[in-house]
């Protein structure tokens, strides 16, 4: 083969290696999106480990105390309520239910009849201890209070059922088929690029070199941005005043960045393997010569 043809082949294979690197990078990004943003289990675990339930529990308690103060209910009453009735475990369960409903497209409101009954019973015991006469008028007032508290509880624990999240996920559901086909298309393109590069060379050391270019390029593209973001702690610098939302948002950003680094590590491992294979191929070729 003359120099002109070799140069042309080299240019074509370099372009294919670059396009293959882009395809592998996009496949990595789509896979990370699939296991994080589009995974209800991941979001549930994140809400649990980020301290979301604990923050919501404290915010709810403060809100209940403020509401009770307006209704002449002592703050000490809510200490018992938030130890036995409105617990962190309960908030976590309701949060998980909201996340499942969001991902499944279920728009029905959470049934809080059991919570309502427990709050009403606790208020009734409190009124009796304070010496109030439990007539129908007082019972109606206590029921109205428990209803209001349930509304406050629903507002705080149903963040994932808010219109913002619903609209965002409705858009994602609309484009989910495109997501699937994009992943399939990129995988096919990557496979064809591998085959095309392979067909240009008879010796393993030559085509493996371009495979190494592609996987190392994908490693860099997947790793550099997330690594810089994690080093600079960008996930912790988001401007969210609400403590519960801050924990979820920062944890979500850091989780995605970490997942991208894991994808980069996989690409790096493949690169190392290809380097070893090429080294073996070069040694075999040198022996035969």
pTM above 0.85, yes or no: no
Work out the average pLDDT over 245-259. Answer: 87
pLDDT tens figures, 46-55: 888 888 888 8
Q: How confident is the model at residue 168 (pLDDT cuts 50, 70, 90)?
A: confident
Q: Of residues 279 and 160, which shows the higher confidence score?
A: 279
Quote the DSSP letter at residue 132: -
pLDDT tens figures, 77-100: 999 999 999 988 888 888 888 888
What six digits make up the tokens of 63? Answer: 């809100």
Q: How confident is the model at residue 241 (pLDDT cuts 50, 70, 90)?
A: low
Which residues contact residue 156 at a Cβ distance below 8 angstroms, ignoring those fewer than 6 apart? 56, 59, 60, 63
- Map out the domains of the chain as residue ranges: 3-45+178-288, 49-163
CB atoms within 10 A of CB 244: 25
- pLDDT at residue 119 in the model: 93
Res 1 pLDDT > 70 = no
């Amino acid at each position: 083969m003359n120099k002109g043809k070799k140069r042309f082949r080299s240019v074509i294979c370099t372009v294919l290696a670059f396009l293959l690197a882009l395809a592998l990078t996009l496949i990595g990004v789509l896979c990370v999106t699939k296991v994080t943003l589009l995974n209800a289990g991941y979001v549930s675990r994140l809400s649990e480990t980020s301290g979301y339930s604990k923050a919501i529990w404290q915010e709810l308690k403060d809100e209940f105390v403020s509401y009770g103060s307006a209704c002449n209910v002592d703050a000490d009453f809510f200490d018992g309520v938030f130890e036995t009735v409105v617990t962190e475990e309960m908030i976590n369960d309701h949060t998980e239910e909201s996340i499942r409903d969001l991902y499944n497209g279920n728009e029905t409101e959470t049934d809080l009849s059991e919570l309502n009954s427990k709050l009403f019973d606790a208020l009734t015991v409190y009124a009796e201890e304070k010496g109030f006469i439990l007539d129908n008028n007082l019972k109606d007032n206590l029921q109205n209070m428990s209803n209001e508290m349930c509304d406050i509880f629903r507002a705080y624990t149903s963040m994932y059922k808010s219109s913002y999240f619903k609209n965002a996920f409705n858009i994602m559901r609309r484009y989910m088929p495109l997501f699937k086909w994009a992943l399939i298309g990129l995988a096919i393109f990557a496979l064809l690029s591998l085959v095309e590069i392979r067909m240009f060379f008879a010796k393993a050391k030559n085509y493996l070199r371009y495979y190494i270019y592609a996987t190392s390029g994908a490693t860099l593209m997947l790793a550099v941005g997330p690594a810089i973001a994690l080093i600079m702690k960008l996930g912790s610098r988001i401007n969210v005043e609400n403590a519960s939302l801050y924990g979820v948002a920062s944890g979500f950003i850091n989780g995605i960045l970490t997942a991208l680094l894991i994808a980069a590590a996989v690409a790096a491992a493949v690169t190392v393997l290809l380097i070893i294979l090429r080294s073996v191929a070069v040694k075999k070729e040198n022996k035969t010569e």
